[in-house]
Amino acid sequence: MCYQLIERYSACHCLYYQHAVDRCPAYGQSGHHITTRTILVGYACSKHSQTSNYGSYSGG
């Protein structure tokens, strides 16, 4: 089974990094699918960390 890892920011879900496909022997055959796994990293991207919705901490 082929896998592709996608890393996204946990708060805004913007793309952090998209890895290359980890290919199995069946890669490219008819009907073969690539399984995508997403992991959350950091908090918010630089664009969204500037906004009040993502950039401020209101916990206690």
Residue 6 in contact with residue 37, Cβ under 8 Å?
Answer: yes
Round the CA-based radius of gyration of the chain to a whole number and report it: 16
Q: What is the pLDDT of residues 17-43, one digit of tens each?
A: 999 999 999 998 999 999 999 999 999
| Mean pLDDT of the residues in the chain | 87
| pLDDT > 60? residue 54 | no
- Split at pLDDT 50, 70, 90, the class of 58 is very low
Angstrom distance (rounded) from CA 22 to CA 26: 11
State how far the alpha carbon of 21 is from the alpha carbons of 4, 10, 28, 38, in Å.
Answer: 5, 22, 12, 13
Q: How far from chain centre, in Å, is Cα 59?
A: 25
